Structure 1
Amino acid sequence: MSALPAAARALLQEAARALRTGAPAAAERLLARAQALCADAPEVLVLQASLLLHRRQPAHARAVLEAGLARHPGHAALRCEYGNLLNACGEGEAALAAWEAACALDPQLAVAWYNRGRNHQLRGETAAAIATLERACALAPQALPPRVLLADALLHAGRLDDAEREYRAALAVDPACGDAWRGLSNLKTRPLGAADAAALQAQLARRDLPAPDRIAMLFALGRLEEDRGQPRAALDAFTAANALQKRLTPWSAEAFRTYVQQALAATATLPAPVDPRLGEEVIFIVGLPRSGSTLFEQILAAHPQVEGASELPDLGIVLQQESRRRGQPYPQWVAQASAEDWHRLGRDYLARTARWRRRRPRQTDKQPDNWKHAGILRAMLPGATIIETRRDPLETAWSCFKQPFYSQPHFANDMADIALYMQGCAHAMQQWRARDPARIHLHVYEDLLAAPEARIRALLDDCGLPFDPACLAFHRAERSVRTASAAQVRQPLRADTARALAYGSLLQPLLDLLALPWPF
């Protein structure tokens, strides 16, 4: 902004700070004053579009940016913001092209490299994400978002030493960076040390700590105390983290009960599919988070015919778009959908995920929440295989309680909600499996530990895959693993991963909740 008048620069900087800290009304007032000084300046248009996107006015933001680009076609920041707009509108390929153009126009624009890297990361293109995020970090070494996202990408690629180095580099810039502490905690094969304990306690003693950072650090402290054999201290830290998160983003147990009842009723009768083989390329892995689903996917992804796509949002997006088109929330419109409607939606999903089948003929989709849609798949993607994963209920519930989830509100912030969610999932999947036994298969984590080769053969058989010995050495598979278990699945099978028993009677309240029948 060096070419702008000093007064305009100051107003724009203050407006950007106001928008970033959640004060859009103040940002709008400051922006109006800046516009009075230099209305057509590209930097003003960039901030104006950011504000409009924040206010969920993408059409207006698009008009502002396209008019600005017509006048300033070579302005990199305008092109970069246009990429943000396209991405918000669901035009991912066009967004990536806009960010690439911004990088070409100004190779020193760190934010354009960061946006490119974030896009590659979300698309599962981990090698490209690492390369572009390294460039962003080199251009802006004090910026935290590219540094943390680079560390995440390195973790997903299995480069654990490099990931730890980048997380700690972020903490060197800001010792209260919650995302960096969250990342270090997700290096589950590497315990935090005494120096980390002192650093966490010092930061948690601050009164000015933002809630998201405090939550992330409490989770990290809980993990640290668990690793050093202090179950009471660990439970206290996890409980404090979850209580604060639940206050910020409450989860509705009643809405969940209603959803399960509606989904089961709506899917009781579905039309015969137009093409019974549609979707046979896809293997859905569903169930509870922390139930071993990443491990089962890693085994399948070691097979030469299967691409491990990790947690894809596409099935939910296709259903959300159909809900908007019909003006009714899912699953209320399910009973009205014809066989042709389901065929169209299935083809939409396959088109959205086609890139995962370019190298290999089949793909996984390991989005645990897709269990909520398992009932419609026999009409929408009748050829698909569905693998439901389960693990010991107490271990699953406890692992959920101590995991910081990005997506909020989340059932895992309260033990009673965890128990309700687990019971609802089991109840619904049991009914859907009875309706579609040829395509929905249950696999249990503890059974895999007890008889690895037999259970891996059974898994491959359920997926219609020939046995391949590479699946026995799944931990050697070179792929991006974009989940909280990224470090763990790089190791051979271990029988010593259970943690809940070490808490003894401290977890009896959770055990009692898990024994309640559905619905409670």
Structure 2
Amino acid sequence: MQNTPQSHQTAVQLLSSGKPAEAEQLLLALLKDDGTNTEALALLGHSLQMQGKTSQAVEVFERLVQVDVTSFQSYAELAGAYIANKQSDLAERAYQRALELNPDFSEAWFFLGNLLMQSQELQKAKHCFAQAERCDPYRPVFVQVQQALHNKDFHSAEKLCRGVLNTHTHHPQALHTLAMLAEQLQAYEQAVNILQRGINYAPYHVSLWEALIKNLSHLGKHQDAISAAQKLQSFDPTQWRYAMLLAVELANAGQFAQSLLAYDQALSLVPDNANVHLLRGHVLKTLGKRDECEQAYRRSLALDKVNGTAYWALADLKSYGFSAQDMQHMQSLLDDPAVAPAQAAQAGFALAKAYEDKHDFAQAFALYTKANQLRPDVQFVPEDYAHSCSVVKQAFTPEVLRKQAAKVKTEQPIPIFIVGLTRSGSTLLEQMLASHSSIEGTMELYSMPHTVRRAELLAKQKQTYYPAVMAQLSEDELLALGQSYLQETAAFRTGSPYFIDKMPPNFHNVGFIHMILPQAIIIDARRHPLSTCLSNFKQHYAKGYDFSYDLQHLGFYYNEYVAMMDHWDEVLPNKVLCMQYENVVQDTEQQIRRLLAHCGLEFEAQCLSFYANKRAVRTASSEQVRQPIYNKGMQQWREFEEYLEPLKTALGEQTLQRFASFL
């Protein structure tokens, strides 16, 4: 056959257009004239692989390396054929031969590492992956990528990575970087897709798995995140970080007993790691194991002296007594400019609590103020928040709210949403309800915000925005959103007819809940504004409550919350039951009866003994709701009243008068 280069080009075009059988015939004819044509042999091998003729492909690539014994690329092609034919041992030898010919052959190191991982030769595999990274021809590009990321030039970083992917379509580091950029934009679905593409090519790439776990968790896909963490741990059971990742995801899914086991495993690998002791302490607290919890926090402190987080964890038990030595050490952390603001702030909150317990309210308030000011990364803009509330109220009109999800034919669990501000008695109501035989307590679920996010993505498809899109959605689309919520929460439920979703900021989502889950029950946990706002001011939150670190912001936020609830009462009369904390404390049985009646349930006496419920509780009030009800917290704000003028001014006389009867 003449014109060999043109024949090669034709064969490549046939393969590219999905016609491997035609390419095979062309190449066989070409090889009749020249059986040593290496390019034709390689193309023939690929055409056979595309047709699933793996054994024949192996024979062709074996011919290829006999013809071209010094070609490292040919041995790599042969190794790939062996893998497709499930001959892993021979594939290893072929990659090793390729590396003998070219020790800087990055892809051979990479794929050899994959094979060694499959045969559980962990240390050899790690060596191969390190060599692959060392030899990566794109390494200089990623130096530029890292510099761009350092300079927050995300556009350049993305452009560089996409340039790499134009020539190496599955480069793990390029895909990992793009996924990181997507995560920063909260495009978690896109990040997951990118990472799964990378893992299909690089199934043992640790960074891809770690990022996948994180983004699945962002999306509320907790069981998938747990499975991914278990997969990662299987790569190397001696890595304490993998056990810890699994422990975190199990806790995120409300599987606290299993999480504790995973933390114990991590601790067996690194018994002197302060952070593992700390996080393990959080799970013990949730499970009500108070003594063991304290021991874990104290051990964390012993291992890490710059540990404001552990001091705050102890203070957040609400009834822990600090020694004079503890207080002295917390003060030193607070005063030392070299201590990271996050650690100093938490030490300050804990020290303030210690002074409050000693009835030194002036010193306590000064420390609370300083701790709040030290809290890093707080970004609350009142004007932006007011606008977001206004948009919600404008979108959820009586007309829009008349449309609800289509009815389902089968019985489904009924969610009970407890909404309001944090530190308003929501955990107390949850504990009372969860003591009823028909109601299951869960935790502060992110499932409804995740469902709102799905509505936002739906809005983009319809070229509009949330919440305006709610006026356009059909009954079936509303039903699908409600079903997605129930599917996500299934991981936290065990089959009771009712379950509780106690995420306070869901007060924004009352209209949305009403439309997608017509059967849902909604309860507003409300408390006097001075009590609520001061209690928040004294609380350090891990994330999510940026309004709580300034008294004026707290007053502003409280007013917006009350205005939002007034709107729901106007457009959805009798939908939301307001439970005033002060009434619950002073007339507990009558208020519990009222609460259960709103849920359509009969009174059960064990709801009065809520403190005997041994369920896991994962909030700042977890210790308080394990005690009989008491009223000493109702007037605690008076001890700080002389310092609360900024709060009172922000609340305004109208709000203060509205709640005056609950003083």
TM-score range, shorter chain: 0.7 to 0.9
Residue 267 in structure 1 maps to residue 396 in structure 2: yes
2:381 matched residue in structure 1: 252
Return the offset for 1:509.
Answer: 3.0
Query: Would you say the 8 A contact 1:77–1:102 is kept in 2?
Result: no
Return the offset for 1:431.
Answer: 2.4
1:295 matched residue in structure 2: 428
1:305 matched residue in structure 2: 438
1:65 matched residue in structure 2: 199
Return the offset for 1:352.
Answer: 1.4
1:393 matched residue in structure 2: 529
Question: Against the structure 1 CA distance between its residues 459 and 258, is the aligned structure 2 distance closer, same or farther, given a 3 Å change threshold?
Answer: same
Query: Would you say the 8 A contact 2:334–2:345 is kept in 1?
Result: no
Counterpart of 1:55, as a letter, is L
Residue in structure 1 matching 2:337, options 201, 207, 210: 207
Question: Against the structure 1 CA distance between its residues 98 and 357, is the aligned structure 2 distance closer, same or farther, given a 3 Å change threshold?
Answer: closer
Return the offset for 1:436.
Answer: 2.5
- What are structure 2's unaligned runs of at least 5 residues? 1-122, 161-167, 184-190, 656-663
Query: Would you say the 8 A contact 1:65–1:82 is kept in 2?
Result: no
How many pairs does the alignment contain?
493
1:160 matched residue in structure 2: 290
Question: Against the structure 1 CA distance between its residues 83 and 505, is the aligned structure 2 distance closer, same or farther, given a 3 Å change threshold?
Answer: closer
| Distance in 2 of aligned mates of 1:117 and 1:50 | 23
Return the offset for 1:23.
Answer: 4.9
Question: Against the structure 1 CA distance between its residues 446 and 84, is the aligned structure 2 distance closer, same or farther, given a 3 Å change threshold?
Answer: closer
Query: Would you say the 8 A contact 1:129–1:153 is kept in 2?
Result: yes
- Between 1:164-173 and 1:338-347, the stretch displaced more is 338-347
Counterpart of 1:325, as a letter, is L
Cα deviation, 1:241-286, whole Å, max 9, x if unaligned, reads 22233x6322010111112222112111223324468976111000
Secondary structure of 2:419's aligned partner: strand
- Between 1:53-62 and 1:470-479, the stretch displaced more is 53-62
- Between 1:100-109 and 1:204-213, the stretch displaced more is 100-109
2:9 matched residue in structure 1: none
Residue 224 in structure 1 maps to residue 354 in structure 2: yes
Secondary structure of 1:371's aligned partner: helix
| Distance in 2 of aligned mates of 1:187 and 1:410 | 22
1:315 matched residue in structure 2: 448
| Distance in 2 of aligned mates of 1:333 and 1:100 | 39
RCO higher in structure (CA 8 A, sep ≥6) = 1
Query: Would you say the 8 A contact 2:254–2:492 is kept in 1?
Result: no
2:304 matched residue in structure 1: 174
Residue in structure 1 matching 2:363, options 210, 222, 233: 233
Counterpart of 2:390, as a letter, is Q
Secondary structure of 1:142's aligned partner: coil
Cα deviation, 1:105-160, whole Å, max 9, x if unaligned, reads 43222111111110111111111111111111221223343322211111111111
Query: Would you say the 8 A contact 2:308–2:346 is kept in 1?
Result: yes
1:35 matched residue in structure 2: none
Question: Against the structure 1 CA distance between its residues 295 and 312, is the aligned structure 2 distance closer, same or farther, given a 3 Å change threshold?
Answer: same
Query: Would you say the 8 A contact 1:279–1:382 is kept in 2?
Result: no
Residue 115 in structure 1 maps to residue 245 in structure 2: yes
Cα deviation, 1:415-455, whole Å, max 9, x if unaligned, reads 11111111111112122123333431011111111111111
- Between 1:276-285 and 1:291-300, the stretch displaced more is 276-285
Secondary structure of 2:523's aligned partner: strand
Residue 504 in structure 1 maps to residue 638 in structure 2: no
Counterpart of 1:456, as a letter, is I
Residue 326 in structure 1 maps to residue 463 in structure 2: no
- Between 1:424-433 and 1:288-297, the stretch displaced more is 424-433
2:52 matched residue in structure 1: none
Counterpart of 2:386, as a letter, is R
Secondary structure of 1:326's aligned partner: helix
Return the offset for 1:476.
Answer: 0.7
| Distance in 1 of aligned mates of 2:207 and 2:551 | 46
- State the identity as a percent: 27
Query: Would you say the 8 A contact 1:49–1:62 is kept in 2?
Result: no
Query: Would you say the 8 A contact 1:280–1:384 is kept in 2?
Result: no
- What are structure 1's unaligned runs of at least 5 residues? 33-39
Larger radius of gyration: 2
Counterpart of 1:286, as a letter, is V
Counterpart of 1:343, as a letter, is L
Counterpart of 2:430, as a letter, is E
Counterpart of 2:271, as a letter, is P
| Distance in 2 of aligned mates of 1:108 and 1:24 | 36
1:452 matched residue in structure 2: 588
Return the offset for 1:516.
Answer: 4.6
| Distance in 1 of aligned mates of 2:594 and 2:243 | 44
| Distance in 1 of aligned mates of 2:407 and 2:208 | 48
Query: Would you say the 8 A contact 1:318–1:345 is kept in 2?
Result: yes
Secondary structure of 1:248's aligned partner: coil
Return the offset for 1:348.
Answer: 1.5
| Distance in 2 of aligned mates of 1:416 and 1:48 | 45
Relative to the length of structure 1, the TM-score reads: 0.86
| Distance in 2 of aligned mates of 1:321 and 1:429 | 24
Question: Against the structure 1 CA distance between its residues 107 and 366, is the aligned structure 2 distance closer, same or farther, given a 3 Å change threshold?
Answer: same
Return the offset for 1:61.
Answer: 4.1
Question: Against the structure 1 CA distance between its residues 312 and 150, is the aligned structure 2 distance closer, same or farther, given a 3 Å change threshold?
Answer: same
Question: Against the structure 1 CA distance between its residues 408 and 388, is the aligned structure 2 distance closer, same or farther, given a 3 Å change threshold?
Answer: closer
Relative to the length of structure 2, the TM-score reads: 0.68
2:254 matched residue in structure 1: 124
Secondary structure of 1:386's aligned partner: strand
Query: Would you say the 8 A contact 1:264–1:375 is kept in 2?
Result: no
Give the root-mean-square deviation of aligned CA atoms: 3.2
Secondary structure of 1:285's aligned partner: strand
| Distance in 2 of aligned mates of 1:48 and 1:137 | 34
Secondary structure of 1:353's aligned partner: helix
| Distance in 2 of aligned mates of 1:91 and 1:366 | 19
Residue 514 in structure 1 maps to residue 651 in structure 2: yes
| Distance in 2 of aligned mates of 1:79 and 1:515 | 51
Residue 413 in structure 1 maps to residue 533 in structure 2: no
| Distance in 2 of aligned mates of 1:484 and 1:101 | 33
1:431 matched residue in structure 2: 567
- Between 1:235-244 and 1:251-260, the stretch displaced more is 235-244
Secondary structure of 2:225's aligned partner: helix
Return the offset for 1:289.
Answer: 0.6
Return the offset for 1:345.
Answer: 1.3
Cα deviation, 1:173-214, whole Å, max 9, x if unaligned, reads 212223222211210122323222011012222221112112
Query: Would you say the 8 A contact 2:405–2:475 is kept in 1?
Result: yes
Cα deviation, 1:25-83, whole Å, max 9, x if unaligned, reads 89x99xx9xxxxxxx9xxx96x87765544337354444333222xx5xx878766654
Q: How does 1:27-42 map to 2 (within 5 A)?
A: none
| Distance in 2 of aligned mates of 1:391 and 1:178 | 30
Return the offset for 1:168.
Answer: 1.4
